[in-house]
Homo-oligomer: A and B are copies of this chain.
Amino acid sequence: MEKRRNSPLASEYRLKRRVQFYETDAAGIVHFSWFFRYMEEAEHALWRAAGLSIAPPEAEIGWPRVAASFDFHRPLRFEDEFEVCIRVAAITEKTIRYSCVITSGATRIAKGSLTIACVSKRPRKAMKSIPIPAEIAARFEIASGGDAERT
């Protein structure tokens, strides 16, 4: 289900997936909320390809989502095979932004974006935005072209 990239740094991941029945709705197509989960699945696979977990046990930092969007071009249906391509589009001191393109064969299905922030997790307190630890930032690089579209 996953493939490691040859590159030492992670900038892009292509997740192959099939539509499950519980992801469809009464309109006979994948419910739009699922695309955000597909994008996150690919993100977490990208982190594993970088040798990381985005949520290891007892982690003292976390990665809440601060923005997410999708444009939907074509529907997906039960048992359709598709590919989720996520790319690192930008890295700032405290955030990472990804772009994402979902395709099924030669058909563009949807195009999305996701921004996450690094926070410290403090019991009984609000989450606090902090700089991305250097050892994590060092594992990623911005995808050439900077946009998951150029594939």
- A: residues with CB less than 8 A from B are 1, 16, 18, 20-22, 24-29, 31-34, 36-37, 40-41, 44, 48, 53-55, 57-58, 62, 64-72, 74-75, 77-79, 121, 123-124, 126-127
A27-B71 contact in complex given A21-B44, A57-B77, A78-B55, C-beta closer than 8 Å: no
Q: Which of A34, A72, A123, A124 has the most CB of B within 10 A?
A: A72
Which residue of chain B has its CB nearest to the CB of A47? Answer: B79
Select one of B22, B31, B53, B58 contacting A123, CB under 8 A: B58
Which residue of chain B has its CB nearest to the CB of A54? Answer: B21
The minimal Cβ–Cβ distance linking A135 to chain B, given in whole angstroms, is: 19
Copies of this chain, complex-wide, total 4
Contacts of A58 in B (CB 8 A): 123-124
A21-B32 contact in complex given A67-B69, A69-B69, A127-B75, C-beta closer than 8 Å: no
Contacts of A24 in B (CB 8 A): 25-26
Give bound CA distance, A53 to B78, whole Å. Answer: 9
Contact: A66 with B57, CB < 8 Å?
A: no
Contacts of A69 in B (CB 8 A): 67-70
Contact: A26 with B77, CB < 8 Å?
A: yes
Give bound CA distance, A96 to B31, whole Å. Answer: 18
